[in-house]
Structure formats: C-alpha cells, structure tokens
A = this chain, B = another copy of it.
Amino acid sequence: MVVYAGQGDPEKTLALLWRVPVDEGARTAPGPKPGLTVDAIVDAAIAVADAGTMDGLSMRAVGERLGRTAMSLYTYVPSKRELVDLMYDQAHAETPAEHDLSGGWRAAAESWAHGLRALYLRHPWLLQVSHARPVLGPHEQGVLEAVLRILDAAGLEPVAVRPAVGSLFSLVRGSAQAAAEARSAAGTTGTPDREWWTLRAGLLHRLVPDFADRFPLSARLSAQAPPSAGPEPRWEREAREAFTGGLAILLDGIESRTRPPGGSGTVIL
C-alpha cells in the first residue's frame, strides 16, 4: 500500500515539519513534563520502518519501541499521516546538501543521483511514500535545492529545468525501486537471487510454452542477460547498471540543453 503524503491538516503538518516553535506562552504550563519528543518518535518510527516494510509501521509498534502505548503518540503527532510525512522528510536529512561542483556539473549530478539512490536503498520504505506532491519539509527541500544548484551551474536553459528535475527524480526513484525489490525478493524467499529468477523463468516456460513466440524481443532480452559474476547478486548489478546507463542517457539529453561553459555567469532561473 502506498502512503499518500501531505493529507493531514496542512498547517499542523507544515509547523511540525519545519519545527516551528510552539507558542511559548505554553512553556510553563502545568501538568507532567513531556516524556517524549517529536524527534524521538520520528526516529523510532524510522527504525521500525527500516526493520520491515511500511506494513509493519503501526502506531503500536512505534509506541512499543519507546516503551509507550500507541495512544500516547497522539499527544505529539496528530495522526499517522503526519508521522509519515515527518519520517519522510527526516530521512532526507541523511543525504548531503552540498555537491562539489569543481569536477563539473555532470560529476556533481551523478553524485547527487547516486546519493539519493543510496538513501532510498537504505530506507526502502521511502519508495512507498508517494512522491507525487510538492514540497513538504526542509530536508526534502534541501535535496531539491541541491539539484537546482547543479543544473544552475550547468547553465541549463530555464524551460528545461522543471522537466530535468522531474526526470532525474523519477529515474532515481524508479531505479531504486527495482533494486529494492531485487533485494527484498532475495531476502524474502531465502533463495539467493539466481534461483528466484530461474524459478520464475521455469514456471513461465512450463505454463506459457509459446512465450518466446508471442514476445520475441522480451525473450531475447532476458536470454541475453550476462551470467552472474562475483559476489554481487545479479539482479542488483543489473539494476545498478540500468541506473547508471539511464542516468548517462538523461544527462546527455540535459547537456544538449545547456549553454556552453565559459559564457556569462548569469544565474539562469
């Protein structure tokens, strides 16, 4: 199931995301001191999600990790939706905000993309949070700002900026999703990856004998896959190679829309 982000009360969500300080009149209020913080809850929730998939993320599970009941979390977070938003943004804090442009914009773009992909692979549940809505919090915004800086340095023509950004995000997410699935398939079934694939291929061949006739190009494509070599699982390597290849294709397209370097240093946006 996809968790759709940004569905809660927008004001509360934004205030939490940007950690807008609560009205300080309530500072010396009576009552017990809060035993938890939003950050502690978010960290616990991330730990729970990291340990399984998004399905395992229940308020109960998060509460248990903190030695509380599920309900106690609602004191800090209006609902699970807001919590997911907070988790999503917090995870993006892990990725570097600055990218070295001294090696050229292209190297920086590759670094950005690989860094983001690595983040998604460290926290695959991020891919289960729909990315299909505008900015949420400061850290996600930082990732966007980082890629904008790179494209700015590249001198990309203004009308191409939005499409380029969207394509880069889509590519990174799509590739990470494929790689994450490869891992989870290997992990779930216990079969170390090659067997998983041969199992499917064998089944398909038995159940659909005319597959190669109906889908000749697909059949050739899967037959053409190189044998697994080295310790890295085959699926994972294929996913990574498809990513670097796709990234190269996309960056070529972007490059053709940049002003030649050495021009005026005008900011393009």
Contact = CB atoms under 8 A, between A and B. Distances in A.
Interface residues of A, number: 84
Q: Which 5 A-B pairs have the closest CB atoms?
A: A1-B1, A170-B174, A163-B245, A132-B181, A249-B253
A215 to B, nearest CB: 5
Given A1-B128, A148-B217, A163-B248, 11 more contacts: A4-B181, A15-B207, A20-B207, A133-B185, A138-B208, A145-B218, A148-B218, A170-B170, A249-B254, A249-B257, A252-B252
Interface string A168-199: 01110111011011001100100000000101
Give the interface SS of chain A, mostly helix, strand, loop or mixed.
helix
A181 B130 contact: yes
Given A128-B1, A173-B170, A163 B208 contact: no
A91 interface: no
A53 B177 CA distance: 21
B54 A1 contact: yes
A218 B141 contact: yes
A66 interface: no
Given A252-B256, A253-B250, A166 B160 contact: no
Contacts of A128: 1-2, 130
Contacts of A253: 248-253
A259 to B, nearest CB: 16
A109 to B, nearest CB: 13
B160 A249 contact: yes
A100 interface: no
A269 B170 contact: no
A236 interface: no
A257 B142 CA distance: 33
A132 B15 CA distance: 34
